[in-house]
Amino acid sequence: MPPLGRVDDAPPAFRRAVESLRAPAVRSEIAVEDIPAPKRLAPHAVAMSATVRSEDEDAAFGRLIVLYDPEGTRDWPTPFRVVVWVSADLETEIAADPLLGQVAWSWLTEALEGRGAPHRGLSGTVTRATTEGFAGKADQPVTTELELRASWSPDAEELSADMEVWLDLLSAAAGLPPVDVADITQRRGRAEG
């Protein structure tokens, strides 16, 4: 993973927070890169984007932004705010599930709990968007995209668990198996061949 932007002139708490984002291991299917951070949301910010590849296709995309306001001028419970966005195309039968929003939101809440990421002020949305082609694009298949946007205020400047939450959320949206579960379809293919 490349450096997460210039933070030399930032307060020590923010520098430590940015450094802690580098600690978690990133799955081989996920490519994370540094992107320009928004400049007007907080005095200090860092941002990353990610692409998840599965079966040689882009399966999900995401962004993580960490905002820091040491003066407390924002309406956040702590000086930090973590903002995540994840987008993934869905299979037709999954897209039609009326509980899709609740299921997608549970990916986030379970990741926060499972990673032990202490936080306050959790909020967000889940959006399902269906695209249909007409006229010159009538032959294109109907697609449905899921977008999850969320933010929370971590209780500490150690943000490695928050980074893991984002990575877990990306993995869930892309339909990747958990890391500790072997993919038997790969083994089966080798054994048969």
Confidence of residue 7 (pLDDT cuts 50, 70, 90): low
Residue written as token pair 């490695």: 160
Q: 159 pLDDT exceeds 90?
A: yes
pLDDT tens digits, 37-70: 998 999 999 999 999 999 889 999 999 999 999 9
pLDDT tens-digit readout, 130-140: 888 999 999 99
Residues 6 or more apart from 79 whose CB is under 8 A from it? Answer: 13, 68, 69, 70, 72
Kindly state the tokens that stand for 77: 């419970």
What is the structure's pLDDT at 182? 55
Backbone angles phi, psi at 69, to 5 degrees: -125, 90
pLDDT reported for residue 141: 87
Q: In whole angstroms, what is the distance from residue 73 CA to residue 46 CA?
A: 18
- Please state, in angstroms and rounded to a whole number, the distance separating the CA atoms of residues 144 and 90: 6
pLDDT in tens, 69-86: 999 889 999 999 999 999
With 60 as the cut, is the pLDDT of residue 186 above it? no
Q: Which residue has the higher pLDDT, 4 or 31?
A: 31
Helix, coil or strand: residue 178: coil
Asked if 21 and 46 count as a contact pair (C-beta separation under 8 A), the reply is yes
pLDDT value of position 10: 85
DSSP class of residue 135 equals: G
